[in-house]
Amino acid sequence: MNILLTGGAGFIGRHVLAELIARRHSIRVLDSLRADVHHGRRWSPPEPVELVVGDVRDAATCDAVLDGIDAVIHLAAKVGLGVDVSDTPDYVSSNDYGTAELLAAMARAKVGRLTLASSMVVYGEGIGLCAVHGAVTPGPRLDHAMAAGRFEPPCPVCGETLAPAMVPESVATDPRNVYATTKLAQELLSSNWARVTGGSVAAMRYHNVYGPGMPRDTPYAGVAAIFLSSLRKGLAPQVFEDGGQRRDFIHVRDIAAATVLATERHASGVRAFNVGSGTPRTVGDMAVALAAALDGPSPIVTGKYRLADVRHIVADSQRLRDELGWSATTEFASGMKELAGSFDH
């Protein structure tokens, strides 16, 4: 296929590009090489991939790059939790206005297939299991409770502690920070576009992605990269809350394989796909694994917290396995070892 890959110079984008090349697609990359990510560094894709340096928010740029394209993989976005509320306009502009321009241009160019980088953050706290009330949506975590060290969100009905549950795509979305809101808006805008144009959308709800080339030393870095930066300086990883937050850390090569499979195989309708390894870990366990891989100091559990963080979020990726024939292949311990060894990428 002739594929337009937006954000192809980014962390996930480079791995998706490698997978597309391996599967012999013809690829054009659109990337603005934004300064807060690339810091003025140049980047060239391998031959014969075409690179257009430009912004997805620019209608004329979108029109130009869509010429001859069969499908779009839209990864270009501002990621992470952000610094504070002053980041909001840039998130909305980069993620939602950018998607709006891209979709309008796809309609003009009659390009009907879209694979979108979404996120597990659209579920907010997801679901928890109450012994009395069954599957419930945990309420928001309150500042005073977290300050007192009560990090678990309680059952919204009786206040009891909830047991973990895997989140399927059918769970109601509940974005709890600006980034999450912009990711959900991207999905909704794409869905509206699909209904009007007859296009197809695969919304890939990625879990916590790690692997070679992770962004680091920025306020937008993921926790694995932050821990590695500390360990590289001989410092102990600082684990927030009590370290019991559950996530699903998934290797970027598995993410890339899922993204390309969805582009090849999902050709009609709008479908969300969770993309996780299926094996939940706590942030504390991840810190221990990385510290061990680097023979560094033991993690410190700080009790600090960020109000916008969700406590637990763990995907059920059965749909992706059933419908697209995907499965994760990189095991956590070996993936963490590889990350530790390749961090100067």
Provide φ and ψ at 209, rounded to 5°.
Answer: -90, 135
Q: Is 208 in the site for ligand UD1 (CB under 6 A)?
A: yes
Catalytic: which of 91, 97, 123, 179? 179
Peptide bond into 212 cis (omega under 30): no
Q: Is 289 in the site for ligand UD1 (CB under 6 A)?
A: no
Q: Are the beta carbons of 239 and 300 closer than 8 angstroms?
A: yes
Site string for ligand UD1, 71-110 (x = CB under 6 A): --------xxx-----------------------------
Q: Is 121 in the site for ligand UD1 (CB under 6 A)?
A: yes
Q: Is 240 in the site for ligand UD1 (CB under 6 A)?
A: yes
DSSP 36-69: HHHTT----PPTT-EEEE--TT-HHHHHHHTTT-
Shortest separation between residue 271's beta carbon and ligand UD1, angstroms:
18
Shortest separation between residue 313's beta carbon and ligand UD1, angstroms:
6
Q: Is 207 in the site for ligand UD1 (CB under 6 A)?
A: yes
- Residue 274, classed as helix, strand or coil, is strand
Choice from 11, 91, 151, 206 touching ligand UD1 (CB under 6 A)? 206
Shortest separation between residue 137's beta carbon and ligand UD1, angstroms:
17
Span interacting with ligand UD1, options 65-73, 162-170, 217-225, 337-345, rule CB under 6 A = 217-225
Shortest separation between residue 269's beta carbon and ligand UD1, angstroms:
24
Q: Are the beta carbons of 40 and 16 closer than 8 angstroms?
A: no
Choice from 16, 283, 288, 293 touching ligand UD1 (CB under 6 A)? 283
Span interacting with ligand UD1, options 46-54, 141-149, 222-230, 257-265, rule CB under 6 A = 222-230
* Residue 325 burial by Cβ neighbours in a 10 Å radius (0-12, 13-18, 19+): exposed
| Distance, CA of 312 to chain centre | 15
Using the structure block, give the residue that is written with the tokens 């549950």. Answer: 165
The Cα 51–Cα 148 span in angstroms is 51
Q: Is 43 in the site for ligand UD1 (CB under 6 A)?
A: no
Choice from 309, 326, 328, 336 touching ligand UD1 (CB under 6 A)? 309
Active site residue 179: yes
Q: Is 120 in the site for ligand UD1 (CB under 6 A)?
A: yes
DSSP 202-264: EEEEE-EEESTT---SSTT--HHHHHHHHHHTTPPPEE-TTS--EE-EEEHHHHHHHHHHHHH
Neighbours of 55 (CB within 10 A): 18
Instruction: Give the residue numbers annotated as catalytic, written as ranges.
Output: 179
Residues that bind ligand UD1 (CB under 6 A): 79-81, 119-121, 206-208, 220-223, 226, 238-240, 245, 247, 283, 306, 309, 313
